[in-house]
């Protein structure tokens, strides 16, 4: 019985992931139970078709320990020649009632945060992501950002 249940779960998982036809790259990295302000999460992107356009997303897994309404990120895309284009981004992470945004049935939510659209890649790239959350009126950032457990990056084919 246990083998049949495992096989059924595997089949469902395969069907779920095979339906994701837009996905080109999708990877998560754990930051533990709290994301340190000096911790930079880096993704080595695959070499992609330079004739196609892609949409880019930062993906996060967070839980009810996340204490803020929004999230500030610094995202850098490093080109082959070492030049890095840096963006500072802000995302809303919770509803006005304090409940977390994102998908999920438990206290862990998965958020797919839009980053860029219509991007063409020429060569190999790296993406660097770090948190830049600060409390209102304070200059120094939050040293340990509770509630973010995994940071990811996703690339989808543009249709």
What's the pLDDT at 5?
Answer: 55
pTM metric for this prediction: 0.83
H-assigned helices in 1-159:
2-18
Contact residues for 82 (Cβ-Cβ < 8 A; gap 6+): none
What's the pLDDT at 95?
Answer: 81
In tens digits, what is the pLDDT along the chain, a chain of 159 residues?
455 555 555 545 555 555 578 889 999 999 998 999 999 999 999 999 999 999 999 999 998 888 988 999 999 999 988 899 999 999 998 888 877 788 877 778 899 999 999 999 998 999 999 999 988 777 788 899 999 999 999 999 987
What's the pLDDT at 33?
Answer: 87
Place of tokens 């340190």: 36
Burial 50-85 (b: 16+ CB within 10 A, else e): eeeebbbbbbbbbbeebebeebbbebebbeeeeeee
What's the pLDDT at 104?
Answer: 79
Query: Looking at domain 24-157, which of 3.40.630, 2.60.120, 1.25.40, 1.20.1070 is its CATH number?
Result: 2.60.120
């Amino acid at each position: 019985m246990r083998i049949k249940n495992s096989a059924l779960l595997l089949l469902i998982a395969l069907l779920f992931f095979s339906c994701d036809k837009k996905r080109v790259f999708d990877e998560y990295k754990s930051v533990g139970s709290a994301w340190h302000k000096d911790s930079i999460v880096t993704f080595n992107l695959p070499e992609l078709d330079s004739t196609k356009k892609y949409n880019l997303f930062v993906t996060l897994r967070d839980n009810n320990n996340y204490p803020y309404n929004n999230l500030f990120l610094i995202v850098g895309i490093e080109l082959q020649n070492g030049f890095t284009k840096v963006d500072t981004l802000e995302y809303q992470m919770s509803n006005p009632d304090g409940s977390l945004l994102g998908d999920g049935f438990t206290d862990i939510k998965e958020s797919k945060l839009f980053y860029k659209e219509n991007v063409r890649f020429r060569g190999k790239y790296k993406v660097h992501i770090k948190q830049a959350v600060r409390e209102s009126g304070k200059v120094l950032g939050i040293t340990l950002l509770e509630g973010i457990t995994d940071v990811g990056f996703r690339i989808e084919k543009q249709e």
